Structure 1
Amino acid sequence: MTTAKSLFDSLVGQLQGYRPEEARAIIYLLFEHFLRFRRTDVIVNKPLPAQQPDWAELVRRLNEHEPVQHLIGTTEFCGLEFQVSPAVLIPRPETEELIRLIVRDYAEAPSPLNIIDLGTGSGCIAVTLARFLPQATVTAWDLSEEALDIARQNAEQLQAEILFEKRDILKADEESPSAGPSRFDCVVSNPPYVTHSEAAEMEPNVLRYEPHLALFVEDTDPLLFYKAVADFGRAHLTEGGACYVEINERFGDETRRVFEERAYRTVQVYKDIHGKDRFVKATI
């Protein structure tokens, strides 16, 4: 009889183009999702259930560099399980650091606390902030209806009350007024910031399977979205309110200047766990 350990070793051996530790981590994720097996179940060589997924098909998709998160349909972010699809970016660990920064700053803030997430994607930022800051009223915008569908599902599943709107931050001044609040204490955004010239350096699982609309910005104007976020903040932040943005590590100083040129009172660049410029906080 095939057991967990023998199947695990076989599947790891069939993966191509992955580092050994990465291949093992991926198969562990598949075991947990499809079999409800944990690592200890593999170690003790637990017998396998009769019903199993099509392992050959899963291996084929992985060997074509499809993200494992798409195979299982979910990913973990800040201890919460989010649905993902090719319509949204898969939440990154670095973005969890952005959440921690905001929660630290607003944990003791009184109600009402109005937050808006510009370019919400999967909703991971908006939903997590709504969960971690229960005094907050959270609004989330995105241009993609497909992304908003995923975000709404995540909000419902994780019991977070969010006002979602299909809106384009680049045309905020041209559209009709929002249905939500007009003033915010916190504006947060993880906008497209990868330039097309950087595409050659990216992993194929990102290039092939994640939405380019949410990833890329033209090399001719790499700070396009930060200018829009900064302008939105100037128009809609309350006194003492702040913008929090995730940034391209190559443009830390340049992004800081975007906010300084718009007369934000204090602008700080924060590094991520890898020591790279990754976030900007700009206070009105």
Structure 2
Amino acid sequence: TTVCDQGQTMGGESDIAAERRATARAEWEAYWKIRDIDSRGTFYPRARYYVHKMFDAPASWFRETIVEPLHAKNKMPYYQRELTRVPEIDDCGVNDKACYFEANEQFRLDKMVDGFILQILRQRVDRCMLYNQPNFNPCQKVIEDMEENELNFFIKYGELGAEADVRDAYMKQKHRMIWERRHPEVMAERARLYSDHKEKLANGEMDYEFWKKGTFFQDKKNLEPPYEFHLSKSTLEGDKPLSKDWQFYKKVAQDEEFAKAQDAKQHKMPLF
């Protein structure tokens, strides 16, 4: 089965394409207005403005009058293939090999699609930060979308390895739900911090330390002892030890201020 793209009409132009075209036309008109204002009272810049305008006027007229209407009239609708969902792994019988195979193939396809979605979100952040640097405030929404999707992707697929299948992901989900039930106070604190973060974001305040405690190489999961020349795990993994001191967690359990003191040693460099 196929579904038609949202806002798309048969043989016509989508609302999104029309909006982008109108935005591009307004930006082009604003460009010529700036050129006109900057060249007033001058000789060579004014002459260059008229020459450029002379070449641009017929080309813009031909595109807006002939090319764009033809594209809008003859544009074919975009269809996205919608695959029929098969039963999930929790619906399969213990010895149902066929059901397990279909659920595993569906899991692999979902992982691939989620990976491409995350890649697109990262590209949006890169383009936004490159365009608006050094002011990253206009990129708050795209950064928030990317960080949330990275977290969700890690929750579902993280630390499973390349050879993991749908049963591994199912077991990970089961263990995560058990852990959340055993630690309701931790989940309540997470919910409170997340709510405060969303409230700050709605007020125009982007607290990037909510997602990244400092820059990427200062994250605790990336810490490595200075006396070793090899990494304990791949940089793509996210469960590196906080410390190789075997008494570290014992000290944290005995003294609450010890963890705060260790965290204070982390030099934070916020982006906003």
| Larger strand proportion of the pair | 1
Larger radius of gyration between Structure 1 and Structure 2? 2
Query: Would you say same fold, with TM above 0.5?
Result: no
TM-score relative to the length of structure 2: 0.23
- The structure where helix makes up a greater share of residues is 2
TM-score (norm 1): 0.23
